[in-house]
Amino acid sequence: MNIYQDNSEYFQKIIHMAKEKLIDKYGESMSSQLREYTTLVFYNKRSKIARFEVAITHPKLDRFSREGGRNEVLKKLANDKPFMLVDISEVVKDMEPVWERKIVSHLLSDFTHEIIPRKLFGKK
């Protein structure tokens, strides 16, 4: 499930990685290590800074598919200290806004599918 907002001031996108999706990607043998997680990017179009967050779902608590679970995940994503900040002002200074959004979306994809799984698998 993806949640997407885009206006003149900011761009925000949320990606949830369900356990089934993770099993499809990494295989059944990894299922004991896999945990659902949700990633978010909040990109301020004026400052050109992208804030990346992650909320790892507790295996026996709320799931993103339920209303209560969604609200818990969104609270976890609203941390004071960001998980990762990226200043892309130099990269996008001569680009049209549509390309800024594409770059930020690509960074979110890498964050969601490469960085977070490596962090999760590295903990075990």
C-alpha to C-alpha distance for 12 and 14, rounded to whole angstroms:
7
pLDDT per residue of the chain (124 residues) written in tens, 0 to 9: 557 888 889 999 988 888 888 888 888 877 677 788 888 899 999 999 999 988 887 666 545 555 566 666 666 666 678 889 999 999 998 888 889 999 999 999 999 999 998 888 775 4
Q: What's the pLDDT at 121?
A: 75
Q: What's the pLDDT at 107?
A: 96
Domain that holds residue 111: 2-123
Question: Considering its fold, how many domains does the chain have in total?
Answer: 1
